[in-house]
A and B are shown apart, each in its own frame.
Chain A
């Protein structure tokens, strides 16, 4: 089977190449166009090469306050990432053995993934309106004048927004944890236990190092899914917007290449995060090989 490749290989390789071109071609076009000259437009040809549109973006002129939205998205993404990792790993550990309610929780997680985002978003918006009404009503009837005078809404980036994002990232985290533990060899833990390790030590020094590369993968999913999220945030983010929401709003109004510059910057952040995650995963693998253990290679 090793000699020569069948004709189908070349046919499929061509299809694959075309698919990759389809995936990356348009993105490369906007990366190039974001360096459009100051008089250039939204399409080719390039009218000179400049950083004018990045400068415009940086100065905050032209489009809405992008810098603030950028920071908000970055902060929210970081919080979502950490919570997704912690909550998913914990739940992943619980799911290693069947427990009462495990099936229900699993189906809820899957449902959260496939129920249309707009429905979840609308629900969260309604929930927080209800909370607001209750708080206002309580404040008035109990005579908490300070609350009644200052309270506006409980909805916000790190309340309803954070929750909305977690309903999207946690199912991915849980599914990755399933994939990890389906391939996990429990004999490593048994060995640790036989050698007298406590449950915490077993987790900290045996299980965690083995699953760490995949856990970083969960973090990567957590951050990038949050960084790009629109549909669930749309009704549930409160009065301020995240970067992708602003970007979506701009698509109908902006007619100059600064939107491409913004696209390039946003993608650069994505690529940076992806690069960091992949690099860390590789570094862990390399370290493992150097220390000569066969952990994580299966048996």
Chain B
């Protein structure tokens, strides 16, 4: 290392230190503590710092003995994965279509920026408000039920519109499609337009061009968007809580419920399991693309 590279590294370290410090104190240490406490013992009112697997054994209680029937834990994860898969499929479909329109069909740069902003602005407003905004539409006396009753399609209000799995999926799609649109748009905007023309000249139909040229080249954006959406849904407890009327269990909600009861080791054990499942999903997805090259 020459003295000048050393100086350069020193400068870089000095510049990166504040960020590194924040992540160290508020992310890495807390994460380590979660893992540590998940192996602590506990009683009804406090945690006891001795090694114990109780947090995990109680979480998985009955999971092996009661087979083939599913224990609570497996049921919760099955439901969370189902929610995640549904939301992922819907956000991908909508997000890809919207990004495709913005990137390939809006020709003026000004319109492209304006329409992207239209999609981005709700992201900068409150999520809870965007959730409760569904109440006047989906509630028992909401617009949809009023419409259905008025048209004579149903003779009493439809109950599953709000505080149900339906409303949870709807709200999650509503909130997080943005996370698909932006990375996919970012990938699409870099596709060389001459490739599309070449496909057309070679006789490809619109669909063939889309499927064999646009989709493969948008893959990095699709993967990044999928990582975002899947991890958010896996850990979500706010949307599931508010839109599910606090009645639906999900992987994130279980952690929160244990925390409300101040059962830290069990909550930590559940958090570690959630983290593990999330990391497996990410590891699988990120095999498909180098994230850092795509910025």
| A interface bracket (residues with beta carbon within 8 Å of B) | 35 or more
In the complex, chain B residues whose CB is within 8 Å of the CB of A5: 105
Does residue B222 face the partner (Cβ distance < 8 Å to A)?
Answer: no
CB distance from A172 to the nearest CB of B (A): 11
Partner pick for B238 among A8, A87, A105, A231, CB 8 A cutoff: A231
B132 touches A251 (CB 8 A): yes
In the complex, chain B residues whose CB is within 8 Å of the CB of A109: 19, 23
A27 touches B122 (CB 8 A): yes
A120 touches B115 (CB 8 A): no
B22 touches A87 (CB 8 A): yes
A126 touches B282 (CB 8 A): no
B12 touches A94 (CB 8 A): yes
A123 touches B31 (CB 8 A): yes
Interface residues of A in 162-192 (CB under 8 A from B): 163-164, 166-167, 170, 174-175, 178-179, 182
| Of B52-60, B61-69, B134-142, the one with at least 4 CB within 8 A of chain A | B134-142
Partner pick for A167 among B13, B27, B135, B292, CB 8 A cutoff: B27
Minimal Cβ-Cβ distance residue in A for B245: A252
Partner pick for A30 among B94, B132, B252, CB 8 A cutoff: B132
Does residue B249 face the partner (Cβ distance < 8 Å to A)?
Answer: no
B252 touches A118 (CB 8 A): yes
Partner pick for B174 among A23, A115, A118, A274, CB 8 A cutoff: A23
| B interface bracket (residues with beta carbon within 8 Å of A) | 35 or more
In the complex, chain A residues whose CB is within 8 Å of the CB of B97: 12, 15-16, 19
Partner pick for A116 among B20, B30, B278, CB 8 A cutoff: B278
Please classify the interface of chain B as helix (H, G, I), strand (E, B), loop, or mixed, using the class held by over half of its residues: helix
CA distance A16 to B99 in the complex (A): 9
Does residue A227 face the partner (Cβ distance < 8 Å to B)?
Answer: yes
CB distance from B77 to the nearest CB of A (A): 13
Task: Give the most central of B29, B132, B228, B237: most A CB within 10 Å.
Answer: B132
Partner pick for A123 among B8, B29, B115, B235, CB 8 A cutoff: B29
CA distance A15 to B97 in the complex (A): 8
In the complex, chain B residues whose CB is within 8 Å of the CB of A221: 124
Interface residues of A in 1-52 (CB under 8 A from B): 1, 5-6, 8-9, 12-13, 15-16, 19-20, 22-27, 29-30, 33, 41-44
A263 touches B129 (CB 8 A): yes
CA distance A124 to B34 in the complex (A): 9
A174 touches B37 (CB 8 A): no
Does residue A241 face the partner (Cβ distance < 8 Å to B)?
Answer: no
A119 touches B275 (CB 8 A): yes
Partner pick for B275 among A41, A116, A175, CB 8 A cutoff: A116
CA distance A12 to B106 in the complex (A): 10
Does residue B264 face the partner (Cβ distance < 8 Å to A)?
Answer: yes
Task: Give the most central of A123, A175, A221: most B CB within 10 Å.
Answer: A123
Partner pick for A13 among B105, B133, B141, B267, CB 8 A cutoff: B105
CA distance A106 to B234 in the complex (A): 23
A126 touches B105 (CB 8 A): no
CB distance from A202 to the nearest CB of B (A): 13
Assuming A27-B122, A248-B128, is B30 touching A87 (CB within 8 A)? no
A115 touches B15 (CB 8 A): no
CB distance from A239 to the nearest CB of B (A): 15
A267 touches B129 (CB 8 A): yes
Task: Give the most central of A29, A122, A130: most B CB within 10 Å.
Answer: A122
Partner pick for B227 among A44, A87, A114, CB 8 A cutoff: A114
Partner pick for A29 among B8, B32, B143, CB 8 A cutoff: B143
Minimal Cβ-Cβ distance residue in B for A178: B295
B235 touches A24 (CB 8 A): no
Could you list which residues of chain A lie within 8 angstroms of chain B, going by C-beta atoms? 1, 5-6, 8-9, 12-13, 15-16, 19-20, 22-27, 29-30, 33, 41-44, 86-88, 90-91, 93-95, 97, 99-102, 105-106, 108-112, 114-120, 122-127, 130, 160, 163-164, 166-167, 170, 174-175, 178-179, 182, 220-221, 224, 227-228, 230-231, 234-235, 244, 247-248, 251-252, 259-260, 263, 266-267, 270-271, 273-274, 278
Q: List 13 A-B contacts (CB under 8 A).
A: A12-B100, A16-B98, A26-B174, A90-B15, A101-B13, A108-B28, A120-B26, A167-B26, A170-B23, A244-B127, A251-B242, A260-B132, A274-B124
Q: What are the nearest 4 A-B pairs in CB distance?
A: A116-B235, A123-B30, A163-B26, A26-B133
Could you list which residues of chain B lie within 8 angstroms of chain A, going by C-beta atoms? 8-9, 11-16, 18-20, 22-23, 25-34, 37, 94, 97-98, 100-102, 105, 115, 117-119, 121-122, 124-137, 139, 141-143, 146, 174, 177, 197, 206, 227-228, 231, 234-238, 241-242, 245-246, 252, 255-256, 259, 264, 267-268, 271, 274-275, 278, 282, 291-292, 295
